[in-house]
Amino acid sequence: MFEYAPAPESRDVVDIPSAYNLFVNGEWVESLGDDRIKTVNPASEEVLSEVALATEADVDRAVQAARKAYDEVWSTLPGRERAKYLFRIARIIQERARELAVLETLDNGKPIRESRDVDLPLVAAHFFYYAGWADKLRYAGYGESPRALGVAAQVIPWNFPLLMLAWKIAPALACGNTVVLKPAETTPLTALAFAEICRQADLPPGVVNIVTGAGETGAALVRHPDVNKVAFTGSTEVGRLIARQVAGTGKRLTLELGGKAANIVFEDAAIDQAVEGIVNGIFFNQGHVCCAGSRLLVQESVADEVLTALKRRLTTLRLGDPLDKNTDIGAINSAAQLAKIRELSDIGEQEGAQRWSPPCTLPDRGFWFPPTLFTGVAQSHRIAREEIFGPVLSVLTFRTPAEAVEKANNSPYGLSAGVWTEKGSRILWMADRLRAGVVWANTFNKFDPASPFGGYKESGYGREGGVHGLEAYLNV
Ligand code: NAI
Ligand code: MG
């Protein structure tokens, strides 16, 4: 047996001020209110910094700045000029990638291996990709001279803080909109670092505004009368509230909500490869992934073989310090999320499913949950229906392809699915029948800025990414 020596990434590459103001009209401005919130490192519970809890008046100031910038500057620039700024931002993100990855890991708890190798490269790629579209909108299929919508209000979650910012801001700016973005309360720091990057790129003041705060601030932003477009990623519960609020106002809306994806393994699949895909599907980012493969559907004839291999693989996962380059599973993002994961897992046991985790020592401080799987899960169990948003896999079996389709689609959600099989014809047959926005074949959790992403049913509506993602920010 070889042991791993510690391989910590240095946190000296980031400099975190003890408090932040709001980023409005290209300046750091003090909040008009007095309330502040602390953001912690979930791996240690250490307070990293304090941010403002923006009030309705703060939000109003930010929207006014965005409106002015839209009317006077951004909407008058030709696409090739907007593209220059986006390319510049993309390059600065690449230059500062190490610093941003460490900051993301500190504030969110995700392993540095993921923030460094997945989040940051994708963030830069999104800005490069949409920079390329800014001067080519007339070729996107939305008419001769598609117009921007105006001011976009964007509210994002804590699971991929900087990546969700990129998914929202890059297409909005490429299409000629200006934005006010509110990051999640537990992970505001990379959005605030992005504000600095906007300054470094000489982006005209007011084109991007960042207001920090919790649900109240988000609600104030969404209901502001001078907003033309609302883009939200988060829980289905809040998505429903927002849909109600926006209905009848003429504001355009896209929602990217929860999921309960089926990862379907057929008996002819390459089992070792499938096991890697199952692990990546549910344990990537501690399972804090809306498109996570949280329901494993495995064909009965290979169920024992797959489960044995999967359990063996789980014993090799390393949980611990997210800044360690060898860590596979980092910290749960918040005490609240940990409580939710614990509650649903306990309910899984009470409902009669069998719980299993590899031997695993959890650190004393911070928020942690071991990789967990449940067997003997019925479709009616809450752990098969509700989004747990943690490192917890529910295992079900099936006998025929038709049964796999029926079970996979038996969900209020429809964001993603995975199919593992050697047969190309079966992949197409399944993809045709699965009610999910993305269907991965012999892979899982693969993202690319050129590929659209979004849901069916309670997973939301609208698409982000690709040429489809432009539609959400154009008056078409
Ligand atoms: P949430 O939906 O409350 O938070 C997402 C964002 O919305 C945050 O920025 C939050 O401040 C903001 N927000 C909250 N209430 C709002 C309102 N009334 N109007 C406007 N903005 C509002 O999600 P939360 O509480 O962090 O997580 C709860 C569950 O939601 C998770 O356990 C998970 O199941 C799901 N979730 C799904 C995500 C996804 O990517 N689809 C991301 C985050 C959470
Ligand atoms: Mg934090």
Average pLDDT over residues 30-35: 98
Residue 211, C-beta contacts closer than 8 angstroms, at least 6 positions apart: 22, 23, 24, 54, 58, 59, 62, 180, 181, 182, 217, 221
**Percentage of residues of the chain with pLDDT beyond 70:** 100
Q: pLDDT tens digits, residue range 83-103?
A: 999 999 999 999 999 999 999
The residue to mutate among 51, 185, 235, having the most atoms of ligand 1 within 8 angstroms of its beta carbon, is: 235
Residue nearest to atom 8 of ligand 1 (CA): 184
pLDDT band at 257 (very low <50, low <70, confident <90, very high): very high
**Homologous superfamily of 11-257+459-475 in CATH?**
Aldehyde Dehydrogenase; Chain A, domain 1 (3.40.605.10)
Q: pLDDT tens digits, residue range 7-25?
A: 999 999 999 999 999 999 9
For ligand 2, the distance from its centroid to the CA atom of residue 341, given in whole angstroms, is: 18
Candidates 104, 185, 256, 387; catalytic one: 256
pLDDT band at 354 (very low <50, low <70, confident <90, very high): very high
Residue nearest to atom 24 of ligand 1 (CA): 235
| Partners of residue 397 on adjacent β-strands | 298
pLDDT of residue 359: 95
For ligand 2, the distance from its centroid to the CA atom of residue 32, given in whole angstroms, is: 23
From CA 205, how far away is CA 215, in angstroms rounded? 26
pLDDT of residue 402: 98
Check if the beta carbon of residue 334 is closer than 8 Å to that of residue 38.
Answer: no
Check if the beta carbon of residue 84 is closer than 8 Å to that of residue 73.
Answer: no
Q: pLDDT tens digits, residue range 396-444?
A: 999 999 999 999 999 999 999 999 999 999 999 999 999 999 999 999 9
Q: pLDDT tens digits, residue range 59-83?
A: 999 999 999 999 999 999 999 999 9
Closest ligand 1 atom number to CA of residue 184: 9
Q: Is 30 left (phi over 0), alpha (psi -120 to 50) or beta?
A: beta
For ligand 1, the distance from its centroid to the CA atom of residue 143, given in whole angstroms, is: 35
For ligand 2, the distance from its centroid to the CA atom of residue 73, given in whole angstroms, is: 34
Tokens of 72: 């006077």
Residue nearest to atom 29 of ligand 1 (CA): 235
The ligand placed nearest to the CA atom of residue 413 is: 1
Average pLDDT value for the chain = 98
Check if the beta carbon of residue 317 is closer than 8 Å to that of residue 328.
Answer: yes
pLDDT of residue 207: 99
The ligand placed nearest to the CA atom of residue 103 is: 2
From CA 431, how far away is CA 98, in angstroms rounded? 38
Q: Looking at the predicted structure, is the pLDDT value of residue 3 above 90?
A: no
Check if the beta carbon of residue 150 is closer than 8 Å to that of residue 229.
Answer: yes
Count the Cβ atoms, other than its own, within 10 Å of residue 446. 11
Tokens of 213: 């705060």
For ligand 2, the distance from its centroid to the CA atom of residue 42, given in whole angstroms, is: 6
Q: Looking at the predicted structure, is the pLDDT value of residue 26 above 80?
A: yes
Domain with CATH 3.40.605.10 in the chain: 11-257+459-475
The ligand placed nearest to the CA atom of residue 155 is: 1
Count the Cβ atoms, other than its own, within 10 Å of residue 121. 15
pLDDT band at 200 (very low <50, low <70, confident <90, very high): very high
Residue nearest to atom 28 of ligand 1 (CA): 235
pLDDT of residue 297: 98
Residue nearest to atom 15 of ligand 1 (CA): 215
Q: Looking at the predicted structure, is the pLDDT value of residue 1 above 80?
A: no
The ligand placed nearest to the CA atom of residue 188 is: 2
Closest ligand 1 atom number to CA of residue 340: 32
Residue nearest to atom 30 of ligand 1 (CA): 235
Residue nearest to atom 36 of ligand 1 (CA): 235
User: Residue by residue, what is the 3-state secondary structure of the chain?
Assistant: CCCCCCCECCHHHCCCCCECCEEECCEEECCCCCCEEEEEECCCCEEEEEEECCCHHHHHHHHHHHHHHHHHCHHHCCHHHHHHHHHHHHHHHHHCHHHHHHHHHHHHCCCHHHHHHHHHHHHHHHHHHHHHHCCCHHHCCCCCCCCECCEEEEECCCCCHHHHHHHHHHHHHHCCCEEEEECCCCCCHHHHHHHHHHHHCCCCCCCEEECCCCHHHHHHHHHCCCCCEEEEECCHHHHHHHHHHHCCCCCEEEEECCCCCEEEECCCCCHHHHHHHHHHHHHHHHHCCCCCCCEEEEEHHHHHHHHHHHHHHHCCCCECCCCECCCCECCCCCHHHHHHHHHHHHHHHHCCCEEECCCCCCCCCCCCCCCEEEECCCCCCHHHHCCCCCCEEEEEEECCHHHHHHHHHCCCEECEEEEECCCHHHHHHHHHHCCCCEEEECCCCCCCCCCCECCEECCEECCECCCHHHHCCECC
User: Which residues lie at CB < 5 A from ion ligand 2?
Assistant: 39, 107, 186
Q: Looking at the predicted structure, is the pLDDT value of residue 225 above 80?
A: yes
Closest ligand 1 atom number to CA of residue 222: 20
Q: Is 69 exposed, middle or buried (0-12, 13-18, 19+ CB in 10 A)?
A: buried
Check if the beta carbon of residue 96 is closer than 8 Å to that of residue 120.
Answer: no
For ligand 2, the distance from its centroid to the CA atom of residue 333, given in whole angstroms, is: 7
Catalytic residue at 256? yes
CATH number of the structural domain 262-441 = 3.40.309.10
From CA 392, how far away is CA 382, in angstroms rounded? 13
Residue 60, C-beta contacts closer than 8 angstroms, at least 6 positions apart: 224
Closest ligand 1 atom number to CA of residue 241: 18
Check if the beta carbon of residue 158 is closer than 8 Å to that of residue 187.
Answer: yes
The residue to mutate among 238, 246, 340, having the most atoms of ligand 1 within 8 angstroms of its beta carbon, is: 238
Average pLDDT over residues 344-362: 97
For ligand 2, the distance from its centroid to the CA atom of residue 108, given in whole angstroms, is: 5
Q: Looking at the predicted structure, is the pLDDT value of residue 462 above 90?
A: yes
Q: Is 291 exposed, middle or buried (0-12, 13-18, 19+ CB in 10 A)?
A: buried
Q: pLDDT tens digits, residue range 272-285?
A: 999 999 999 999 99
Q: pLDDT tens digits, residue range 166-186?
A: 999 999 999 999 999 999 999
Q: Is 4 exposed, middle or buried (0-12, 13-18, 19+ CB in 10 A)?
A: exposed
pLDDT of residue 181: 99
Average pLDDT over residues 330-355: 98
Q: Which residues line ligand 1 (CB under 6 A)?
A: 155-159, 182, 184-185, 214-215, 218-219, 222, 233-235, 238, 241-242, 256-258, 290, 337, 340, 387, 389
Measured in whole angstroms, how far is the alpha carbon of residue 311 from the centre of its chain?
27
pLDDT band at 2 (very low <50, low <70, confident <90, very high): confident
